[in-house]
A = this chain, B = another copy of it.
Amino acid sequence: MRPALLAILLIAQPALAGFDGVWLDLTHSFNRAAIYWPTADSFEKTVVAEGETDKGFYYSAYNFRAAEHGGTHVDAPIHFARGMRSVGQIPLEQLIGPGVVIDIRPQAEENRNYQATVEDIKAWESEHGPLPEGAIVLFNTGSSDLWPDKERYMGTAERGADAVAKLRFPGIHPNAARFLANERNIKAVGLDTPSIDYGGSTLFETHQILFKNNIPGIENVANLNALPAKGFEVIGLPMKIQGGSGAPLRIVAFLPNVR
């Protein structure tokens, strides 16, 4: 057998034994500390039952409530674009695809209101080749390490409308959003901050540009430091809220074993 074919066989074999590789969770836990927009309802879990029942077995159950847009979640296009897809209408395949991580930690360290640029994307491509078709493009701003310290993560721990002007965190520049929507063929974007628009945004142009193109945005992603720049698959499965403008998302990466 030619070495090239043997190599393909060895790389491909894990698929035969199910998904043989490493799974990595990119999701923050939903708890009292989970970060929400200053004006949004936070996550709350309340006890329904917890303890021994009179029938002699242990039983625990809880209720929960939250805004759609907090913790690790997906923004559906309808969040900022009338008539576009709600979270229940996003095809499964749109949040499953080859992942890439564009590292903008140095830029974000220098300026917490940094916006990822077209040049950042092109620099990644110079090093790693063109963005894969149907890529899920993740920006690593280094913010995940600051979770759940609201002041450091998003610029303020205050709540309410007055706190919004104090928000300060990295995002994706509208020009970069336009470039991804028009010049590349991607499935979704994501990052490790509360919003794909930077903390200082008032018009949320990156949301508007991507969502008009039915490209969802994934926010408050965790654990990006653990990923390579490419060579992994992303699977994001949102809670299937009918008509939802977004939803809690369990997002994971699959790194195939290459043995």
A98 to B61, CA, bound (A): 29
Question: What is the predominant secondary structure among interface residues of chain A facing chain B?
Answer: mixed
Inter-chain contacts of A235 with B (CB < 8 A): 235, 237
Min C-beta distance of A217 to chain B, whole Å: 14
Whether B92 contacts A25 by the Cβ 8 Å rule is yes
Whether B15 contacts A240 by the Cβ 8 Å rule is no
Whether A93 contacts B9 by the Cβ 8 Å rule is no
A59 to B25, CA, bound (A): 30
Which single residue of chain B is at the shortest CB-CB distance from A84?
B58
* A204-B92 contact in complex given A12-B9, A16-B8, A67-B48, C-beta closer than 8 Å: no
Whether A244 contacts B62 by the Cβ 8 Å rule is yes
Chain A, 168-220, CB within 8 A of any chain B CB: 202-204, 208
Min C-beta distance of A200 to chain B, whole Å: 15
Min C-beta distance of A77 to chain B, whole Å: 10
Min C-beta distance of A151 to chain B, whole Å: 21
Interface string of A213-249 (1 = CB under 8 A from B): 0000000000000000000010101111111111010
Partner of A11, one of B11, B16, B19, B237: B16
Inter-chain contacts of A1 with B (CB < 8 A): 1, 5
Asked if A96 is at the interface of the complex by the 8 Å CB criterion, the answer is yes
Chain A, 67-107, CB within 8 A of any chain B CB: 67-69, 72, 78-82, 88, 92-93, 96-98
Chain A, 23-44, CB within 8 A of any chain B CB: 23, 25, 27-31, 40-41
Partner of A23, one of B82, B93, B239: B93
A79 to B57, CA, bound (A): 10
Instruction: Enumerate chain A interface residues (CB-CB to B < 8 A).
Output: 1, 5, 8-9, 11-16, 18-19, 23, 25, 27-31, 40-41, 45, 48, 55, 57-69, 72, 78-82, 88, 92-93, 96-98, 134, 202-204, 208, 233, 235, 237-246, 248, 250, 252, 256
Inter-chain contacts of A31 with B (CB < 8 A): 241-243
* A68-B79 contact in complex given A15-B12, A240-B250, A250-B239, C-beta closer than 8 Å: no
Partner of A79, one of B8, B30, B61: B61
Q: Would you list 22 pairs from A and B whose C-beta atoms are within 8 A, ordered by A residue?
A: A12-B15, A12-B16, A18-B134, A19-B233, A30-B241, A30-B242, A31-B241, A45-B242, A57-B80, A57-B204, A57-B208, A60-B78, A60-B79, A61-B67, A61-B246, A63-B67, A64-B244, A65-B66, A72-B240, A237-B250, A238-B250, A250-B250
